Amino acid sequence: MKIVVLDGYTENPGDISWAVLEALGELTVYDRTAYEESDLIAERIGDAEVVVTNKTPVSRATMDKCPKIRTIAVLATGYNVVDYEYAKTKGISVQNVPVYGTDNVSQYAVSLLLEVCSHIGHHSDTVFAGRWAENQDWCYWDYPMIELSGKTAGIIGLGRIGKNTAKILKAMNMQVLAFDSFQSEEGKNIAEYVELDELLAKSDVIFLHCPLFPSTANIINKDNIAKMKDGVILINNSRGQLVVEQDLADALNCGKIAAAALDVVSTEPIKKENPLLGAKNCIITPHISWATKDARIRIMNTTAENIKSVIDGAPINVVNM
């Protein structure tokens, strides 16, 4: 069986092994393939039966040019880079990795919040620049230090990651509100389910942990921002398209939103003209919440299990059948 990895570098920049995929067939790994639709994608797939992709799109045109494809294995939970409905009509399974980074993504979300509240990186930089050694007082701070205990956190999307984040916030003595279309008993034990408007009005900090659906796209927009508390903090390490970025930039610049910490933006890599790059009190990191070595090993192993299940005739983690 021929297996082609279209964009393997972010999954494995050299610190883990492709051995579990090599054991399943003839493996070809490309570090990168252009994200734009092109003949190169189909050329690289060729007569492979298994296509492994992270962010390189696999369109209907590509599938039509590569009739031997049996399955498309996505090195992630999200699979919108694949025309999965069209794949279904051609009998091509699309497989994802549903669970691999719950702990580290929620850890990162809370880390973003703590950076907003304490500006640890900034103050460390000032110390190494010599400022503390020359300071006439025994301490200093350049930003207001924010205490989280007793404050209210609102989580939009109380799935696996949202629940895990809620547990951490509860341990920090925060009240946790949640908005989710699907409520569970587990969720009720760690958060209070409320309607979106109530969450927006009452939360001191808002976390986005929801998938990108038509109902959630652009959920952070000027109308919903107007319903928020003045001085709210926004954390997003879910999907960039949940946010209308110009509206968020405007809210940051006028102080309606005190700070935002983001690990995702609408177009990645970020465009130089993204309005958030010029916004006040905005932290942006390059979509790395998921990228611990432990998590990437889990992705690799699950992808191998996905491909093996196709070989065995009983595909698992299929999102389009």
Catalytically annotated residues: 239, 268, 287
123 CB contacts (<8 Å, ≥6 apart)? 141, 142
Would you give the DSSP letter of residue 220? Answer: B
* Amino acid letter, 34: A
What CA–CA distance (Å, rounded) separates 58 from 192? 40
The number of beta carbons lying within 10 Å of the beta carbon of residue 32 is 13
Question: Apex CA 108: angle with CA 102 and CA 109, to 5°?
Answer: 90
Q: Are 34 and 59 in contact (CB under 8 A)?
A: no
**Nearest-CA neighbor of 242 among 281, 203, 209?**
209
CA–CA gap between residue 185 and residue 223 (Å, rounded)? 31
Query: In whole angstroms, how far apart are CA 315 and each of 58, 143, 150, 250?
Result: 19, 53, 47, 47
Long-range contacts of 84-87 (CB under 8 A, 24+ apart): 84/319, 84/320, 85/320, 86/59, 86/60, 87/58, 87/63, 87/320
